[in-house]
Structure formats: structure tokens, C-alpha cells
Amino acid sequence: MPLIKGILTFPTLFTPKVAKGATEPKFSCGVLLPATDPQVATIKAEVEQAKLNTFPNGYSGADECLTLYDTKYAGKDYYDPRFSGWYVFTCSAKQDDRPAVVDMNRQPIIDPAAVFSGMVGYVSAGISGYTKGKGGIGGWLNGVMITEEEPPMGRLDNKPSVDQMFSSVGANGQTAAPPAAPGNTATGLVMTAAANGMTYDQYKAAGWTDEQMISQGVASAPPATTNPAPPSPPAAPDAPAPPSAPAQLIMTAAANGMTYDQYKAAGWTDEQMISQGVAQKPSFS
């Protein structure tokens, strides 16, 4: 009986549903696994053993519980190209055999909203052959344990998190004030696009002077000034490095633990990180 850790997809764990083309409502869950995950080889071995046990004269089934993501979902509205080349393990349980759903402390989860596509979890399942209909190799769902790990690919159902939905509401129920609009600072400087979203105060905290900000193009003086700007000092010291802008992308499991700043330091652009699948834009950014 394998215990599989991966990204949950289409978890139907609290109310059984009738799948397309089926007649019997069932509980079900899928697990997404990169092709390089060692668990894939283990599951494949169990599938092959189940074929030998159930079809001693040669496998003639039509369905298998472990398939390539592209084979299973290509052409579907919900196909996600980030999982191209991955595997998906699917398993189900009859409506009178509800699977256990627990947290990392093995406490039951009773809120269906606590389990969603994209989260990381452990799935306990059995693998065996069946000859009903066209026959095949099925995964039999026993239980799911959800983790508190950050979803590496974000929510696959695109539903915003609680923090995203209600971040503007303070603890006392008052709507938080929006951040100050970009524009003139208290000194009269205007930050430019070259500042990469950093504020005047952040540059000052990093040791920049007004003159250095203007000379480096990260800020400009307002159009109308009463007095002419003083001449730039001779041999001005090199400007200190500006504070690093916060990462705008969410790193995925394909980044192998590397951070956004490490990829940027290696010369990667945001577009390259997204196209190579090592990062993604935050949902509702």
C-alpha cells in the first residue's frame, strides 16, 4: 500500500460525486508528480505487478491509475502546461467507504475548504487490477493527510487566499488605508520607473543623497523650482547599491529550492523563469 506525497488535484473527499461517464458517486483524489520523482518508479513497479496478478495471460485493460499528465488532460479546459511531462496518480473510494482526511497532527479535517487543488499532501492508496468492463489497474483511496507546506504552484483552482481577499480589513474591522500614491516625496523629488517601485525613504535608508538619486535617474526634480539646483559635487562617491526589490514571482518546485534573488543574480529575467517553469506570477497580482 503506497503512501504518496505530491500536489493534490481535484480532491473530492467530503461528498462523493459521479464522474463524467460513470454512474456511481465516489470519493476521489489525484496526485501530481514530476517525472523525476523517485515515487514514480515505485508506483510503476506496483502497477506492473498488479497487471501480472490480474492478467496472467497478458494485460488487456484500458485504464491505469498512473498516467502522464499530458495523456490524461491534454485538450481539457483545465490543462495546465506547467505540468507537462509530469505524472498523475488517481484513486477513488466508494460512497460507503469515505476516506480519512487529517492534518499533520492526525486530527480529522471537517472543513471541505481546507483541502484544495494545488496543496501538498500525502495520499494512502492501494493498487490492484480489476476485470469489470474493459478492465484495468485502479488506485483505491484510503486516506489523505494535508500539510502546511506552501503550494509550490499556487492554488490550481485560482481561488484567492483569505489574506488576499481581506488584506485591506484591519483587526478592528476598519478598512486599512491604501498605500500612498506614487508621486512627489516630501523633499519634492519624483521617483522614476528606474527606481523599480522603491520609495524615496528606502533609497535614503540605503545611503543615497537627493543628488545621487537624480544623477542615477531613479528620481527627478519637479518641473517648476524656485531656486536653481546646486551644482553636483566634484568626484561624488559611487552610489551605494539600492535596496533589493522584493521578488515579484513565486518559485516553483522546479527551482529546486533556489530563490528568486539567486536566479536574478545568475542573470535570469522574470520572463525566462516563467517560461522555464521555475517561477510563476502570484495569483491576482
pLDDT computed for residue 129 by the predictor: 94
Q: Report the alpha-carbon distance of residue 113 to residue 179 in Å, rounded.
A: 31
Give buried/exposed letters for 61-92 (b at 16+ CB in 10 A, else e): beebbbeebbeebeeeeeebebbeebbbbbbb
| 196 shares a domain with 282 | no
pLDDT tier at 5 (50, 70, 90 boundaries)?
Answer: very high
153 within domain boundaries? no
Are residues 230 and 250 located together in one domain of the fold?
no
**At residue 66, does pLDDT exceed 90?**
yes
- Residues 226, 273, single domain; the answer is no
Task: Report which of residues 249 and 35 the model is more confident about.
Answer: 35
Residues 28 and 103 both lie in one domain: yes
Classify residue 37: in a domain, yes or no: yes
Residue with the larger pLDDT of the pair 192 and 243:
192
Q: What pLDDT does 62 receive?
A: 85
In a shared domain, residues 88 and 191? no
Does the structure show a pLDDT above 60 at 156?
A: yes
Looking at residue 169, what DSSP letter applies? Answer: B
The arithmetic mean of pLDDT across residues 157-183, rounded, is 61
pLDDT digits (tens, 9 = 90+) for 224-242: 545 555 555 556 556 555 5
**Which of 36-50, 118-132, 134-148, 202-216 comes out lowest in average pLDDT?**
202-216
Same domain, 191 and 264: no
Decide if 13 contacts 99 (C-beta within 8 A): yes
Domain ranges, residue 192:
179-244
Q: Is 154 among the domain residues?
A: no
**Residue 148 to residue 121: CA distance in whole angstroms:** 9
Tell whether 187 and 263 lie within a shared domain: no
Q: Is the pLDDT of residue 3 over 70?
A: yes
Domain containing residue 66: CATH number: 2.40.50.140
Pair 43, 91 in one domain: yes
CB-side neighbour CA atoms (13 Å) of 223: 1
Identify whether 130 is part of a domain.
Answer: yes
pTM over 0.95: no
H-state helical runs in 55-180:
69-73, 162-166
Residues 94 and 193 reside in one and the same domain: no
pLDDT of residue 173: 67
Within a domain: 187? yes
Which of residues 96, 123, 146 is at a domain's end? 146
Return the beta strands (E) in the chain as ranges.
3-17, 26-33, 63-64, 66-68, 87-94, 100-102, 120-130, 136-146, 190-191, 219-220, 250-251, 279-280
Mean pLDDT of the chain: 82
Between CA 47 and CA 127 the distance in angstroms is 7
Of 208 and 139, which is predicted with more confidence?
Answer: 139
Q: Are residues 131 and 37 in the same domain?
A: yes
| Residue 170 counted as domain residue | no
Q: Which of 274, 268, 281 is nearest to 254 (CA)?
A: 274
Residue 96 lies in a domain: yes
For 9, phi then psi, to 5°, come to: -140, 135
Same domain assignment for residues 278 and 230: no
Q: Is the pLDDT of residue 20 over 90?
A: no
Q: How many domains does the chain have?
A: 3
Instruction: Output DSSP code: residue 58.
Output: -
pLDDT(179) > 80: no
Helix spans in 157-196 (H): 162-166
**Model confidence pLDDT, tens digit, residues 69-107:** 999 999 988 899 999 999 999 999 999 999 999 999 999
Task: Establish if 171 belongs to a structural domain.
Answer: no
Residues 120 and 186 in one domain: no
